[in-house]
């Protein structure tokens, strides 16, 4: 393995399901259009270096974005939680610093604990799902999954969207090679197809817009749905994307920011989205 990590080499480059009828019925039952409101979305890879900075990084993600002079309550997709330093501290710190105003999900899930979510209580969790993408290989990569939650605004339950979070296999697109390069690239392509079809396609067919976060380990990464998807950042492996749905919930980008984490080659990336019910 080269002295520069695969992650850093790339970073420097830049439950039960609700059916279609239920989703569309909810949209049809909605009242008058609502005003645009801010929704702060963060993708945050804790990383594996400078482990003494992990708690600070989690705390900074919680308090690192202000809107109108007030500390935002962000919707966070985490990556690499407990991956390589499974001392139990990272989920504990997430639960501590993202306290009673949040629901933290998947942080103790056997399959999905590496990519949990922190969801502000301004949104109710209507449904949850984990899509298993591929198995792992010892010494190369753990298995990969995509976590998902259907969210509804607590004060306007007809405003609904899906939040998804994931972490692609490392090393397939960083310009370096090793004996497992073909395996890495095959798994990356498998992940891309599942992300596109089993997550974005699945939920959009039910009327939901989807916001996703993740470490995609490719920069630039092709659009999953070129005719529909938008991205907050043109380059870099830490990404935030979204696609429209047909249930009346609309999304748009207002701003992007960065929260330094001081742990690895990653900083947390922030998209200040706006959401409304049309």
Tens digits of pLDDT across the chain (278 residues):
333 344 444 444 433 344 443 444 444 444 688 999 999 999 999 988 888 999 999 999 999 999 999 999 999 999 999 986 778 999 999 999 998 999 999 999 999 999 999 999 999 999 999 999 999 999 899 999 999 999 999 999 999 999 999 999 999 998 888 899 999 999 999 999 999 999 999 999 999 999 999 999 999 999 999 999 999 999 999 999 999 999 999 999 999 999 999 998 899 999 999 999 99
Q: In 3-state terms, what secondary structure has residue 204?
A: helix
DSSP letters, 233-268, are -SSSSEEEEEE--SSSEEEEEEEEEEE--SSSS--E
- The Cβ of residue 57 has, within 10 Å, a number of other Cβ atoms equal to 26
pTM for the model stands at 0.89
């Amino acid at each position: 393995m080269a002295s520069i990590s695969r992650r850093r080499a790339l970073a420097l480059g830049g439950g039960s399901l609700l059916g279609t009828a239920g989703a569309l019925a909810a949209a049809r039952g909605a009242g008058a259009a609502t005003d645009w409101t801010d929704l702060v979305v963060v993708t945050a890879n804790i990383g594996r270096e400078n482990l003494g900075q992990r708690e600070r990084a989690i705390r900074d993600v919680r308090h690192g974005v202000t809107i109108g002079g007030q500390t935002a309550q962000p919707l966070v997709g985490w990556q690499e939680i407990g991956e390589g330093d499974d001392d139990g501290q990272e989920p504990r710190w997430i639960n501590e610093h993202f306290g009673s105003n949040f629901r933290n999900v998947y942080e103790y899930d056997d399959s999905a604990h590496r990519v949990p979510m922190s969801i502000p209580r301004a949104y109710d969790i209507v449904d949850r799902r984990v899509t298993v993408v591929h198995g792992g290989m010892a010494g190369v990569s753990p298995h990969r999954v995509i976590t998902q939650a259907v969210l509804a605004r607590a004060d306007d339950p007809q405003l609904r969207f899906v939040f998804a979070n994931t972490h692609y296999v490392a090393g397939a697109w960083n310009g370096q090679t090793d004996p497992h390069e073909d395996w890495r690239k095959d798994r990356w392509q498998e992940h891309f197809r599942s992300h596109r079809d089993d997550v974005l396609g699945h939920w959009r067919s039910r009327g939901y817009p989807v916001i996703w976060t993740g470490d995609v380990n490719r920069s630039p990464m092709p659009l999953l749905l070129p005719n529909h998807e938008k991205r907050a950042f043109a380059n870099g492996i830490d990404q935030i994307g979204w696609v429209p749905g047909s249930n009346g919930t609309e999304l748009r980008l207002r701003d992007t920011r960065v929260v330094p984490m001081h742990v690895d080659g990653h900083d947390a990336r922030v998209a200040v989205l706006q959401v409304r019910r049309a």
